[in-house]
Amino acid sequence: MTNRTLKTTTLGRPANPEARAHRREQILRGARACFLRKGFHAATTAEISAEAGVSVANIYQYFPAKEHLIRALIEEDLTSDLDLVDMVEMSGSFRKGLEMTSRIVIADPQVAQDSMLRLEILAEASRNPEIAAVVKAADERLVAAMGSLIARYQAKGELHAEIKPDAAARLIISLYDGLIGRVALGEQSGVELLTAADKFISRALEEIIIP
């Protein structure tokens, strides 16, 4: 038997990537639910495993520490935000794109819960420098994506040519973060404010120079 044959037979069947992705998603859903109920520090790994329907040992195979779960949740939220930015571009109009994505966000029953978890993440970031660094890196990626989108709509002539895309992107993201936070806290007017914000932002980018 050659070394190559021996190596092949002892490795066993390769892991199923789809099964691993599904299990990882199970764990993250369980973590979201537990963190929302009890916060990061009070939620235990045993509670997360029960919520997710997996063993504690299985969780550690994917996430060696609770901080790794938090990082993964931040990445998931970033992916969702970047998808919304893509939707604005695919709409073909910045104004229509904002209105469309806002309708999607408002109609999603998970928005309030997800927003509560984002507030929890920000609170943790204020105490934990490592989590703060992850939050900042995700925010920079989102700002860069939004800034690039604004620049492309400037090139099309829809937005004011002298607007600074990066500054405008930071203002827009900060505004929406605050409004979604109001929705998360149960303020009904938050939905109306979100709709009004779309019109305000569109008009500002079309007519007003943001320094």
Note whether 140 and 162 are same-domain residues: yes
Note whether 127 and 200 are same-domain residues: yes
Note whether 55 and 118 are same-domain residues: no
Q: Say yes or no to pLDDT of 209 above 70.
A: no
Residue predicted with more confidence, 116 or 25: 25
The identity of residue 52, as a single letter, is: A
Note whether 78 and 141 are same-domain residues: yes
All residues at 6 or more sequence positions from 168 whose CB lies less than 8 Å from its CB, including other chains: 147, 150, 205, 210
Q: Which of 151, 170, 179, 149 has its CA nearest to residue 87?
A: 149
Q: Say yes or no to pLDDT of 41 above 70.
A: yes
Give yes or no for a contact between 114 and 76, defined as CB atoms under 8 angstroms apart: no
CATH of the domain at 203: 1.10.357.10
Note whether 96 and 130 are same-domain residues: yes
Domain count, the chain: 2
Give yes or no for a contact between 182 and 189, defined as CB atoms under 8 angstroms apart: yes
Q: Which of 32, 49, 64 is the last residue of a domain?
A: 64
Q: From CA 52, how far away is CA 23, in angstroms rounded?
A: 9
Per-residue pLDDT tens over the stretch 192-208 = 777 777 777 877 777 65
CATH of the domain at 31: 1.10.10.60
Note whether 5 and 84 are same-domain residues: no
Range of 20's domain?
Answer: 1-64
Note whether 160 and 205 are same-domain residues: yes
Q: From CA 191, how far away is CA 186, in angstroms rounded?
A: 10
All residues at 6 or more sequence positions from 194 whose CB lies less than 8 Å from its CB, including other chains: 102, 105, 106, 176, 179, 180, 183
Name the helix (H) or strand (E) containing 9. Answer: helix 3-11
Contacts 24+ apart (CB under 8 A), 177-182: 177/118, 180/105, 180/111, 180/115, 180/118, 181/115, 181/118, 181/119
Note whether 87 and 138 are same-domain residues: yes
Note whether 163 and 59 are same-domain residues: no
> Looking at residue 134, what is its pLDDT?
95
Q: Which of 44, 64, 84 is the last residue of a domain?
A: 64
Note whether 116 and 24 are same-domain residues: no
Note whether 21 and 36 are same-domain residues: yes
Q: From CA 34, how far away is CA 30, in angstroms rounded?
A: 6
> Looking at residue 16, what is its pLDDT?
82
